[in-house]
Amino acid sequence: MKNILHQIAEKLVENGKGILAADESTATITKRFDQINLQSTPENRRNYREMLFRTTDAMESYISGVILYDETIRQDCKNGEKLIDLLIATDTLIGIKVDTGAKPLALLKDETVTEGLDGLRGRLTEYAQLGASFAKWRAVISITDKTPTDYAIQANADALARYAALCQENSLVPIIEPEILMDGDTSKHTIEKCYEVTSKTLDIVFDELTKASVDLKGIILKPNMVIAGIHSPNQPSGFEIAEQTLKCLKDHMPDNVPGACFLSGGQNDIDATKHLSIMNKIKDFDINLSFSYGRALQQSALIAWGGKDENMAEAQQAFRHRAYMNSLATKGEWSEHLEK
Ligand code: 13P
């Protein structure tokens, strides 16, 4: 029988499907709810996520896995059913965010290291018992005039490798997310700079994963696209972003990793879809490229919902549409006119 980690990783990047990142921490979902003036209570968070997971046709056709936050994996639907049973019913793999957030690196200005290793082995065992088959850890690297330092990249890569090994020990596929932020406040954040930092970060991360004996066929990479910072005066075209991202992955991602599922990182919905689609259209090497979007899958649904039951069908339609557009993008088949 095929190794269970390989099976899960391959299922996550099954053609035409991608991951819904619905693992916003309470602080982050509260910021999202602020946009619709909705109080962030456990009940409202449940209602929102239940609405997404009950978009059954979209979940079945376009979503391979959902990343949950600790609260959600334990939560019940309005009718008392377990929320995760909705995912099991649509054959959607259950993922769990296990880091405890990016914390300031002592003595280093503007840099963070992601925490959460203490007690992780026990938490992973519990999550596996609750039904999770994969996990997520997000490291954050920021580009400023003075960062990233080699030390910050190394510290984050070290934590990612220790997390990944612990996941595999518990038969969970680790999602490896070293995010180079696109929203720094420097004009020096050009696409060239992003290429350089992303390449270097991937090299160090894969080096640490290898040293930690992590089985690369049983992980999924969740990279940023190679993109200019939002304050950069030189904004590249979608084609350039796709080309540079492909070149970066081709040269810095080992080819036995089953696939990369991009984060959206603050790109608008349509750009995130467009860039993924161009990449899948022009790529000349055999690697599965898909999505693991949070905002780019949810933003239009959140706004359509507005916290009101009566808007549920419209919000589900918005989510279904984005999931479908991104599904097409995984095959390089998206085009702008389909957005109308
Ligand atoms: P975004 O797609 O909104 O960047 O979120 C993805 C994610 O899971 C970040 O950890």
Q: Cα separation of 182 and 224, whole Å?
A: 9
Atom 8 of ligand 1: nearest residue by CA position: 21
Cis peptide before 104 (omega within 30 of 0): no
CATH number of the domain located at residue range(s) 2-339 in this protein: 3.20.20.70
Q: Cα separation of 50 and 295, whole Å?
A: 17
Q: Cα separation of 237 and 199, whole Å?
A: 20
Instruction: For residue 295, give the 3-state DSSP assignment.
Output: helix
Strands (E), the chain: 18-21, 63-68, 93-97, 102-104, 112-114, 134-141, 173-180, 220-221, 259-262, 288-293
Helix H segments across 212-335? 238-252, 269-282, 295-305, 312-330
What pLDDT score was predicted for residue 35?
Answer: 98
Q: Cα separation of 223 and 176, whole Å?
A: 8
Q: List, for residues 150-165, the tens digit of each pLDDT value.
A: 999 999 999 999 999 9
Active-site choice (193, 222, 274, 283): 222
Please check whether residue 146 is in contact with residue 105, taking contact to mean a CB–CB distance below 8 angstroms. Answer: no
Residues 6+ apart with CB under 8 A from 11: 64, 65, 93
Q: In which band, very low, low, confident or very high, does the pLDDT at 188 lie, cut at 50, 70 and 90?
A: confident
Q: Percent of the chain at pLDDT above 70?
A: 99
> Does ligand 1 lie within 6 Å of residue 296's CB atom?
yes
Residue 329 pLDDT exceeds 90: yes
CA of 114 from ligand 1 middle (Å) equals 15
Please check whether residue 282 is in contact with residue 243, taking contact to mean a CB–CB distance below 8 angstroms. Answer: yes
Please check whether residue 8 is in contact with residue 134, taking contact to mean a CB–CB distance below 8 angstroms. Answer: yes
Instruction: For residue 80, give the 3-state DSSP assignment.
Output: coil
> Does ligand 1 lie within 6 Å of residue 283's CB atom?
no
Burial of 154 (0-12, 13-18, 19+ CB in 10 A): middle
Q: List, for residues 274-288, the tens digit of each pLDDT value.
A: 999 999 999 999 989
Instruction: Residue 209: name the closest of 248, 170, 177, 247 by CA.
Output: 177
For the chain, the residue count is: 340
For a mutational test of ligand 1's pocket, the pick from 69, 137, 293, 322, i.e. the residue with the most ligand atoms closer than 8 A to its C-beta, is 293
Q: List, for residues 28-82, the tens digit of each pLDDT value.
A: 999 999 999 999 999 999 999 999 999 999 999 999 999 999 999 999 999 999 9
308 an active-site residue? no
14 an active-site residue? no
> Does ligand 1 lie within 6 Å of residue 68's CB atom?
no
Q: Cα separation of 211 and 208, whole Å?
A: 5
Please check whether residue 221 is in contact with residue 176, taking contact to mean a CB–CB distance below 8 angstroms. Answer: yes
> Does ligand 1 lie within 6 Å of residue 265's CB atom?
yes
Q: Which atom of ligand 1 is nearest to the CA of 263?
A: 2
Contacts by residues 192-198 (CB-CB < 8 Å, ≥ 24 positions apart): 193/143, 194/143, 194/224, 194/226, 194/227, 194/228, 194/229, 195/226, 195/244, 195/247, 195/248, 197/141, 197/143, 197/148, 198/223, 198/224, 198/226, 198/248, 198/252
Q: Cα separation of 36 and 170, whole Å?
A: 39
Active-site choice (10, 24, 111, 177): 177
> Does ligand 1 lie within 6 Å of residue 99's CB atom?
no
Total-model pTM? 0.98
> Does ligand 1 lie within 6 Å of residue 45's CB atom?
no
Q: In which band, very low, low, confident or very high, does the pLDDT at 291 lie, cut at 50, 70 and 90?
A: very high
- The DSSP-derived string for 172-185 is -EEEEEEEE-S--S
Q: Which atom of ligand 1 is nearest to the CA of 298?
A: 3
